[in-house]
Amino acid sequence: MRTSRISKETSKIINATSLSPTSRRSTRPSLSRFAHGNSSNKNEHSPELLQDTTDIEDVIPPSRKRKRDPTPRTPIKQSPRKTVTVKTEVEDSITFSPSKERKVRKPARQIKNEETGEVEIHPPNDWAEVYAVVKEMRTAGAAQNAAVDTMGCERLAEEKVSPKVKRYHTLTALMLSSQTKDTTNAVAMGRLQKELPAYKEGEPVGLNLENILAVDPKLLNELIWVVGFHNNKTKYIKVTAEILRDQWDGDIPDSIEGLMSLPGVGPKMAYLCMSTAWGRTEGIGVDVHVHRITNLWGWHKTKGPEETRLALQAWLPKELWHEINWLLVGFGQTVCLPVGRKCGDCELGLEGLCKSAERSKVTLGRKTKEEKVKKDEEGIVIEKSEVVKVEEVVNDVPVNADSKAEVFVEGVLELPVEEGLTKEEEKMTLDDIAHAPGQLEKSSKRKSKR
């Protein structure tokens, strides 16, 4: 019998108070001394009386609590990390796994120098690594052979013309490129260079300032109709030709202010034109690709291309100002598309350098690659091939043994197709089906589960 703690404490108190004659328990042996003829020579504090005053709960020894055996805990099974093995015929194997360490990305920021008190612009902490990876992709990776490489504005000028006419070609190509793809812009420039009539007999046909001044605006509009906003661009080109003739001696301006004073020419066109036509890089030509991609990388948070240009020029080395436009425009045309980015083919996403990469696409892009390298006796690489293992999920597709057999699709019987029926025979067949005996059974509607 198990006793409670309260009962034990109560019995201890009773035992302590039972020694005093005033509070001793009145049991049958203690009352017997008042009986008639009983001798009072017995000691009131005899051990016999004290022995009988013990409570029954005190006689039962307290039971010890059972110690529960601790239940063994099974260790949590850890999933193995994905590894990629590179195998070579020289029996050199390298095993590496993508690091899961989080890299702290810091955008461009202003920091006050405590010694001089001036505010300095610190670049993003990983910009050099990102820039190098993208450049490798543009030259020998997934982002090579972009449209800007062959049909960019700086490549549309003819080589056979004079430097003065060539600079005018570059300016015209930039004016046509606004809100227009490079492939479309190349078509319009090709028509101007081949179909623009000469301003007088004996002069060459093609794109030059004199022919633009003499051409009818309607014909010019027809030649460039493939580009976006061709009506406005026709007006801009005609007005610009008159300004160049009257104010710039038939040549294009050689300053940013002069170029931006022309109608339809913004900061991006002016800086690109200065860099390409005159060979002087005075700023970064920022278009939608440069603005969008640099914000995706977290280099800054800007609202427009002009704000992006000022943010980049604050810390990017000047020797990269001309190259970054070509770099990011081609990257945005091939891999980092405005819609449907190819994050699985992008090395930035695979290496964890892009904060905006879509993780599902990156996971699919990390496939097991086996690279086989053939070397000669001296260790020189002769042949190098790369094999990509792709796991394909093949669904079970029913195949009919007989081509004339009836095909069942979800319980619906499809009649075999009869060839060579005339319209009258088809009409008679449909009438027979419509007037067939019996009633059409309505399919039971399924109740939607709410």
Long-range contacts formed by 129-137: CB under 8 A, 24+ apart: 129/353, 130/297, 130/348, 130/353, 130/354, 131/320, 131/327, 133/347, 133/348, 133/351, 133/353, 134/327, 134/328, 134/331, 134/348, 135/327, 136/347, 137/331, 137/335, 137/346, 137/347
With beta carbons less than 8 A apart as the criterion, state whether 151 and 198 touch.
no
From 87, 233, 238, 268, active-site residue? 268
Tell me whether residue 200 is one of the annotated catalytic residues. Answer: no
Which helix (H) or strand (E) element contains residue 194? helix 182-195
Residue 113 carries which DSSP code?
A: -
Query: What's CA 407's distance to the chain center, in Å?
Result: 44
Q: In the chain, what are the helix, strand and coil shares in percent, each to the nearest 5?
A: 40, 10, 50
**Three-state secondary structure call for residue 384:** strand
Q: Which of 263, 282, 262, 264 is nearest to 272 (CA)?
A: 282
Residue 318's nearest CA partner among 285, 293, 281 is 281
Cβ neighbours of residue 394 closer than 8 Å, sequence gap 6 or more: none
Do residues 117 and 111 touch, judged by C-beta distance below 8 A?
A: no
The answer to whether the beta carbons of residues 32 and 38 sit under 8 Å apart is: yes
Contact (CB, 8 A) for 343 and 350 = no
Cα-Cα-Cα-Cα torsion 147, 309, 103, 352, nearest 10 degrees, comes to -10
Dig out the tokens for 95 from the structure: 């095993």
DSSP label at residue 120: E
Distances (CA, A) of 30 to 10, 12, 22, 49: 21, 20, 12, 7
- Whole-angstrom CA distances from 67 to 64, 70, 73 are 9, 9, 18
Just list the catalytic residues: 268
